[in-house]
Amino acid sequence: MKSWFDGVGHSYRTPIRIRIFGVIPAKPFILTKIIATLGPASCEIPVLTRLIESGVRVFRLNFSHGDPESHLQLLTAARQASEEVGIPVGVLGDLCGPKIRVGKVIEGGVELQMGQPVYFQRDPILTGEDPDAPVTFNVTYDKLIDEVEPGQRLMINDGNIHVLVMDKSEDRLIGTVTTPGTVTSAKGVNLPETALTVPSVTAYDWKCADWAMEHGVDFLALSFVRKAEDVIKLRQYMKRKLKGRLPLPIIAKIEKPQAIDDLENIVDAADSIMVARGDLGVEMDLASVPIIQKKIINMAHDYGKPVIVATQMLESMIEFPTPTRAEASDVANAIFDGTDCVMLSGETAVGKHATKAVDHMSRIALKVQEHIVGEKVRWGKPPAKLQADRSRMAALAHGVMTIVRDMNVKHIVVWSQNGGAARHLSKNRPTLPILAFSSDHQSLRRMTPLFGVKPMYLEQPADTEDFIWQVDQLMQESKMCKVGDALLVVAGEPIGKPGSTSNIHIHYVGDYFGESG
């Protein structure tokens, strides 16, 4: 529930005007964040409020489905649910990227047999209409015949059907079925061994990006990333459109083999990284995906970038009320490896048990957290690249971790007007909450995917002393702390100025610079 704490302290203090988001003392704070995809199963405000209360901190809008009107309805519902619960929740717009699909197929589909010859042509065709003719498909990518070469694989329906291309002419490809199955209209086509010239951002994606900027979406996820230039191109486009305002943070989805070849540059260029295991598992050796996942997480940590693990985490819960043991282990292992966020897709978009899926994911995350805290081990790698740059905030964040290890600190408290200080502290992965205060609502929403960060609204204090005093009152009023608990406060002067964070204070609740009460 949301609440306001109003009060007046000593005459020289600023009156407290704090909005508390998500202060539920009886419920442990989960350091790893949960992303839930919006859809028919999660479009009503009561469901969304329940998801937030269960642990969702970012909602995903999948632009592959729906239209601007339905997207606006979902965005509005998400914002209203966040307001009702009193917890800031980010909204992630997921761009589709180019989708290569099979053309029209007769009703019921066409069954492909092992070793059967199949053909792909340029002109549209209704596949299967003539049962005596060779099976011939058309696909939605005009350059398919030009760019696919003999010896390369063509995969249909999420990689369940494989065709080996044997030969090609000017107008068609000739292939042989190596993994059989039924093909129906509009099934996806993957070309893992083909160097496609299709751009990462389609005409429809540009329209979705415009819509996201216009309606205040908090993040954009970029599909079909193959090189760092794909990320840079989208950011430059947003800068031109926004005319001096900051572009939306970009989440680069790693789902193509070519992205692995340029991974370090992509991580450096993007604001966040998503391990999109769906297409990654189709286009690469399935046995390599867990290793690649760990590699991506480690590199994101090195660069101090938040990382999301996505796709099929609790897939069985689309139908069933409990996950499989393997799914529970998958979620737990991603959290052990130090992912900032775990993401649900169909489980919350179209699943029968959306809230239960979030409940299970929260319970798994909390169990892993309790184990790591109990073992007193380092959680994830420190951001080696940030430390090597010798930036002031990176050094300060490293110092905070040292103090946290040496003292029994209850919370880390930071004034982070635009979220930069919170990001640096988050990437050092302390095993206690980072209470990140800002007077900017958009900044609060953009802090929601950060590991360990609890964004909290506060009207800008007059100075650091005023900030500490207001936080002290808040900790006592909300019962987030007891008198005598230690807080590690990170701020700067003048407070609220970006890049000014430079001070660390140890403050004991109830003791304001020597004053009692």
Note the pLDDT tens digit of each residue in 304-333. 999 999 999 999 999 999 999 999 999 999
Same domain, 367 and 493: no
Tell me: pLDDT of 25 over 80: no
pLDDT in tens, 196-206: 999 999 999 99
Of 33, 226, 235, 253, catalytic: 253
User: Does residue 102 sit within a domain?
Assistant: no
CA dihedral (332, 337, 340, 341) positive or negative: negative
Q: Which of 90-99, 267-276, 342-351, 388-397 has the lowest mean pLDDT?
A: 388-397
State how far the Cα of 231 lies from the Cα of 61, in Å rounded to an integer.
Answer: 19
Does the structure show a pLDDT above 50 at 11?
no
Distance CA 217, CA 283 (A): 30
Residue-level pLDDT at 13: 45
In a domain, 413, yes or no: yes
pLDDT at 513: 52
Task: Supply the DSSP symbol for 188.
Answer: B
Our answer to whether residue 202 is catalytic in this structure is: no
| pLDDT tens digits, one per residue of 138-194 | 999 999 999 999 999 999 998 899 999 999 999 999 999 999 999 999 999 999 999
Q: Is 427 a catalytic residue?
A: no
Per the residue annotation, which of 33, 50, 57, 60 is the catalytic one?
A: 60
- The answer to whether residues 417 and 438 belong to one domain is yes
Which runs of E-coded beta strand occur in 89-196?
Answer: 90-94, 110-112, 117-121, 136-138, 153-156, 161-168, 172-179, 181-183, 189-190
495 found inside a domain? yes
User: Using 50, 70 and 90 to split pLDDT, how confident is the model at 492?
Assistant: confident
List, for residues 211-249, the tens digit of each pLDDT value: 999 999 999 999 999 999 999 999 999 999 999 888 999
- The CATH number of the domain holding residue 397 is 3.40.1380.20
- If we measure between CA atoms, which residue out of 268, 308, 306, 248 comes closest to residue 450? 306
Is residue 104 situated within a structural domain? no
Structure confidence at residue 74 as a pLDDT band (50, 70, 90): very high
Confidence of residue 496 (pLDDT cuts 50, 70, 90): low
- My answer on whether 346 and 300 are in the same domain is yes
Catalytic, 101? Answer yes
Residue 83 has pLDDT above 50, yes or no: yes
Where a domain ends, among 373, 399, 424? Answer: 373
In a shared domain, residues 237 and 308: yes
pLDDT in tens, 269-289: 999 999 999 888 888 888 999
Residue 511 pLDDT: 81
Is residue 83 included in any domain, yes or no? yes
> Residue 216 belongs to what domain range?
33-97+200-373
Give the pLDDT confidence score for residue 383 in this predicted structure: 82
* Residue 401, in any domain of the structure: yes
What does pTM read for this prediction?
0.90
Closest CA to 334 of 303, 365, 288, 370: 365
pLDDT at residue 500, as a whole number: 58
Say if 89 falls within a structural domain: yes
Residues 310 and 452 in one domain: no
Domain boundary among 190, 219, 239: 190
CB 195 within 8 A of CB 138: no
| Contact partners, residue 464, CB within 8 Å, separation at least 6 | 415, 489, 491, 492, 493, 495, 503, 505
Do residues 334 and 390 share a domain? Answer: no
- Residue 314 and residue 363: Cα distance in Å, rounded? 13
Does residue 504 share a domain with residue 416? yes
Question: Across all residues in the chain, what is the average pLDDT?
Answer: 90
Q: Which two tokens stand for residue 281?
A: 């598992």
Q: Examine the domain organization and report whether 15 and 39 are in the same domain.
A: no
Average pLDDT estimate for 405-417 = 90
CATH of the domain at 207: 3.20.20.60
pLDDT at residue 368, as a whole number: 96
384 vs 154 pLDDT, higher one:
154
Contacts of 135 (CB under 8 A, 6+ apart): 110, 112, 116, 117, 118, 119, 127, 128
- Mean pLDDT (whole number) for 467-479: 92
- Quick one: 56 and 114 in the same domain? no
Domain count, the chain: 3
Give the H/E segment covering residue 335. helix 325-336
Q: Identify the pLDDT of residue 53.
A: 96
Q: 319 and 445: one domain?
A: no
Report the C-alpha gap between 509 and 517 in whole angstroms.
9
Position 391 confidence tier, pLDDT thresholds 50, 70, 90: low
Express as a percent the part of the chain with pLDDT over 70: 91
In this prediction, residue 345 carries a pLDDT of: 96
73 and 212 assigned to the same domain: yes
In this prediction, residue 228 carries a pLDDT of 97
373, 395, 417 - which closes a domain? 373
Per-residue confidence (pLDDT) for residue 385, from 0 to 100: 77
Would residue 143 count as lying in a domain?
A: yes
Query: Quick one: which of 495, 479, 83 has its CA closest to 509?
Result: 479
pLDDT tier for residue 388 given thresholds of 50, 70 and 90? low
Look up the CATH number of the domain holding residue 151.
Answer: 2.40.33.10
Please check whether residue 309 is in contact with residue 327, taking contact to mean a CB–CB distance below 8 angstroms. Answer: no
Are residues 266 and 132 both part of a single domain?
A: no
Annotated catalytic, 245? Answer: no
